[in-house]
Structure 1
Amino acid sequence: MKFNNILVNDKEATAIVTINRPTKLNALNRETIQELHDAFEALEKDKGVKVIILTGSGEKAFVAGADISEFADFSEKEGGKLSAKGHKLLFDFVENLSKPVIAAVNGFALGGGLELAMACHFRVASHNARMGLPEVSLGVIPGYGGTQRLPQLIGKGRAMELIMTASMIDVDRALGYGLVNHVVSQEQLIEFCQKLASKISNNSPVALSYAIKAVNAGFKNSNGYDEEIKAFGACFGTEDFKEGTSAFLEKRKADFPGE
């Protein structure tokens, strides 16, 4: 699959998706959002890929925001459609992907960039990363999930302050808030994420997909406990459960078929 704005590199069980618009600080335009959707959709179907790492090209930005030039003259109706389509194609799509997605935040993650990082299942940042939702300084609000995911991750009060002040925070504050899981040097960022991906890849792909679904259910208009019970029971009917329990009892490493 050929892309204009992203790069996809498969290495063993880990795929690295790189947003590649360095002259635009990897800003998200409609074409890039569509390409990311297509890439994630293909990787989800690829049985050889167990974990996906998402990052930005260069040393300055993960994603510095949305490409404002594309929607500066939009009407109310067009703005609503833009948000709805973005949710469906990318942000909700990534959050609900059955395979773990790690955001490797290698610089500025602002506006849509931070919203994309928050849609990933967890985040690792380099020391130079800076994060924020500056939309209100442009007369608009975060439209790709920022008003929902940021409070879920760091709490309502902190999220309200960041959104209302349109401020950026550094990685120390982001780590303290729980917005990122780890902070490493930029040189070590991808390698660190690959090590995490390798640990994840040792586990059952089916169980991982059920775990993602159950955790996400607790943040939606559904009963997370009910979803957990349902998913827990479903695991018992999988080949991965048979292999995992057999390997444990036989004191050997499991070789999960992913079924």
Structure 2
Amino acid sequence: AYAKEWPEFIVPKVLVEQAKSGKPWDIPLALREDKDEVALITIRRPKTLNALNSTVMSQLDKIFTEIKKDNKIKGAVLTGFGVKAFVAGADINELARLRTPEEGEALALRGQETLNLIENLGKPVICAMNGLAFGGGNEMAMACTARIAKKGLKVLAGQPEPKLGIIPGYGGSQRLPRIVGLSNAWPILRTGNPISSEEALKIGLIQEEVEGDVKEAGITFAKKLISGEAKVPPIKREPIEIPKSLPDVDIGHLSRKTDEIMKEAILEGAKMTLEEGLKHEAKTFGKCLRTKDMRIGMENFMKFGPKRNAEFSHA
């Protein structure tokens, strides 16, 4: 009615098509908008700070599969809705429903499939980190060709899984050491403590800190990679060197049992190719389901959120 009354009002094509279809509204959790030769993909779950669940992952699968086949699109930018978070992690409710090591391994492998699709797209994908990237969010960012972030973020990236009594399952223990070096990754993975955008730039997790609009900067960066004006070295796919000594890490109240599993994932994975290391991580993630501390960590988070430390039994 409004459009009829005001003929100069341009009705977006998506609204016209939706009205014609007569179907109920299906609001996508991952939205694709094409900007010339670059696809902009936005993850949109603002109430959960864009946390990843199975619906988001399947929608990203579909979008990136279409982009891979679309000859008009030469690259992509992946970002999150809002200003607080790119992706705050995986959906805790889905993790809390896991019961067996096999279920844990299967969930990790499913998530890894989506990230592997992004990593092996054959077209550059820039992660425009509009806010914090925790857990699965940081893992998704690391599967991209390059990462840029809003300048001056005191909290940008981290793998807080140990605080929940688990380890990363979407490739964090394998990609982070390959991107920033094992000595830099070691404390980040074992303590679960986040790093700032400044620190991320210093260790090589991100390529740029951006003053202005991070999405626009991402599109500009993607176009530079497409034209060959900019280059980013690919992730190391072969086994990586393990330094003779690694930094001492104080894990504080965290589960010593989970820490053993984490160290196994990192150190054994470093001796493998990236592909083998990812499978190893998924299996090792499954081992967390055998521990008491995963239940303790999950229940503590569900009751009290991230503010209160779990009282782990180290078993």
TM-score (norm 1): 0.77
Displacement of 1:73: 2.7
Q: Which amino acid aligns with 2:60?
A: L
Deviates more, 1:149-158 or 1:192-201: 192-201
Unaligned runs of 5+ in 1: 223-259
8 Å Cα contact 2:86/2:129 also seen in 1 = yes
Q: Which amino acid aligns with 2:219?
A: Q
Structure 1 distance, partners of 2:117, 2:238, is 15
2:171 is equivalent to residue 145 of structure 1? yes
> Match of 2:90?
66
- Give the alignment's Cα RMSD to 1 decimal: 2.3
Residues 1-259 of structure 1 correspond to what in structure 2 (within 5 A)? 4-75=28-99, 76-88=101-113, 90-127=114-151, 128=153, 130-185=156-211, 187-203=212-228, 215=234, 218-219=237-238
Q: Deviations over 1:10-42 (max 9, x none)?
A: 011011000011111000000100100110000
Structure 2 distance, partners of 1:3, 1:91, is 23
> Match of 2:249?
none
8 Å Cα contact 1:63/1:113 also seen in 2 = yes
Displacement of 1:97: 1.0
> Match of 2:264?
none
Q: Deviations over 1:156-176 (max 9, x none)?
A: 122110111110110110000
Indicate the SS of the match to 1:179. Answer: coil
Indicate the SS of the match to 1:86. Answer: helix
Unaligned runs of 5+ in 2: 1-13, 15-25, 240-271, 274-315
Q: Deviations over 1:200-234 (max 9, x none)?
A: 33359xxx9xx99x945743667xxxxxxxxxxxx
- Which has a greater percent of strand? 1
Displacement of 1:115: 0.2
8 Å Cα contact 1:20/1:57 also seen in 2 = yes
Displacement of 1:71: 2.1
> Match of 1:226?
none
8 Å Cα contact 1:151/1:159 also seen in 2 = yes
Structure 2 distance, partners of 1:163, 1:177, is 14
8 Å Cα contact 2:87/2:137 also seen in 1 = yes
8 Å Cα contact 2:178/2:235 also seen in 1 = no
Structure 2 distance, partners of 1:179, 1:65, is 17
8 Å Cα contact 1:3/1:35 also seen in 2 = no
Structure 2 distance, partners of 1:202, 1:155, is 29
Q: Deviations over 1:29-67 (max 9, x none)?
A: 001001001100001111110010000000000000000
8 Å Cα contact 1:27/1:67 also seen in 2 = yes
| Aligned sequence identity (%) | 40
Q: Which amino acid aligns with 1:69?
A: N
Structure 2 distance, partners of 1:216, 1:171, is 20
8 Å Cα contact 1:13/1:49 also seen in 2 = yes
8 Å Cα contact 2:179/2:236 also seen in 1 = no
8 Å Cα contact 2:179/2:235 also seen in 1 = no
